[in-house]
Amino acid sequence: MKKFFKELFYFDILIYSKVVVGSMKKYLIIGFIILIILLTGSYFIFFNDKITLSLNGETNNKLEVFTEYKDPLISFKNHNKEIPKAKYILQEESNLDINKIGSYSTNYKIKYKNKDYSITRYFEIIDSTSPTLTVNTEEVQKDYCTKKISTKLEYTANDNYDGDLTDKILTEEKDDKLIISVSDSSNNKTTKELTIKYKDKPKDIFKLNGNSNINVAQNTTYKEQGVKYTDGCGNKIDKEIKTTGEVDTKTIGSYKITYEVDGKSLARVVNVYDPSTYKPTGKKIIYLTFDDGPNYYTSKILKTLDKYNVKATFFVTNQFPSYQKYIKEEYESGHAIAVHTLTHKYDIYTSVDTYLNDFNKMNEIIKEQTGSYTRLFRFPGGSSNTVSKSYNKGIMTELAKRMTEDGYVYFDWNVSSGDASGAGSTKIANNVINGVKKCSSCVVLMHDIKSTTANALDTILESLTQSGYTFATLNENSSTAHHHINN
């Protein structure tokens, strides 16, 4: 029995040894395989190249034009370790222009161990700076009547990229603001708003047409001049004007005509006299008349007339269009406005129609400036001129008849200042001062386009006012001082 158990024990040991040895052998084989795999992976991980190429800085860059830019270049690594620059060849290809708006790029190319690598950086060059806008004032004045800006505006615009943009400046009026703006080529906009202030509204004008004192010969026709009632801008105020009084030209005497509206009142005295026995008594009447303007010297003449409170008659032209505004100033100052000619060219005497065309155009300008047409005029050269013969024989006789029939009144003169023939200021003054001594109703010819006349006027008015003369403006009932018609 003991032997049996001993043999059984040895058998079990043998069987167990075989199983254990067999299992160990199996595990050793599996472990060896795993070791081979780990060694192979480690080789590829630690002994083969792992190249990375990246940009330093941003890939997409938005840069302001003209700003300085420093290229941060690239990063070239193997296994996260920077590869020395000596071991590779770097080439940069770039079209970047920092001074010009647009899209650009820089391409970096690397050759390393016979392999090529590349990466690209992108740029957008922009202009976000608005132009500089300079204006000479913070507010502007506007004329109440014309609605035009009277302030002299001066402005300039400059841009960092486009340069001078003054000719690109735009202006717009909105809500009592003058908006001045300018935009550059990148649509950067600069705007300034100026306050608009209106000049004071001018006062309404209620004035007599013609003189306040009129002499009319007995048994002639009295032409009622009426009054003018306009706002300060020359626009007619449509209100009924109450007129009282009558003139009986068949009966010698003085008649008073009264005009009333809105609490305002004006009066005119009409003296009907017997022409066969009439003799001037008291003060002479002097009608100062000025031809050919308005002009640069008209302003000085108006100031001198105002200084002496003397009213005159201006036979106006359009020879100097930029001075048209003085027609309105003459009218509003109480002076009479009459047609002389539009062009002052004598070829208007070619025909009746040619003359009328010129005349009517000038009368339209007068209406624009004063609010109404005039029926008073003076022929260029006077009714006695002979230059018209070169254009149409008999034209002056025909025109005088035609214009009179149409209700117009023309005036010549009986005192000449001599300024048209080149007289100096002293001579002009003497011609007028001495000339008025020879007439009771003196129509004096002068020209407001002459500096000599402008300089002589103060002397003339100082002398004549001290002598007690009366000054008046011409009207349809005034002395016409007609010349003899020579054509």
The beta strand positions in 209-263, using DSSP E, are: 213-217, 227-230, 242-244, 253-261
pLDDT confidence of residue 215: 76
Looking up tokens 């052998």, which residue turns up?
25
Confidence check: pLDDT of 282 > 60? no
Q: What is the pLDDT of residues 194-206, one digit of tens each?
A: 999 987 778 888 9
Distance CA 423, CA 433 (A): 14
Distance CA 224, CA 243 (A): 11
In which band, very low, low, confident or very high, does the pLDDT at 6 lie, cut at 50, 70 and 90?
A: low
Q: Please report the domains of the chain, with CATH numbers, ordered by start residue.
A: 51-126 (2.60.40.10), 132-198 (2.60.40), 203-279 (2.60.40.10), 280-487 (3.20.20.370)
Residue 109: C-alpha distances to residues 76, 83, 91, 93, 283 (Å): 11, 15, 5, 8, 109
pLDDT confidence of residue 25: 65
Question: What's the whole-model pTM score?
Answer: 0.49
Q: What is the pLDDT of residues 38-79, one digit of tens each?
A: 665 555 554 578 999 999 999 999 999 999 999 999 999 999
Amino acid code (one letter) for 215: N
In which band, very low, low, confident or very high, does the pLDDT at 376 lie, cut at 50, 70 and 90?
A: very high
Amino acid code (one letter) for 4: F
Residue 460 tokens, joined: 């003339």
Distance CA 78, CA 57 (A): 20
Query: Of 361, 354, 404, which Cα lies nearest the Cα of 383?
Result: 404
Residue 377: C-alpha distances to residues 42, 158, 346, 363, 396 (Å): 119, 54, 16, 10, 14
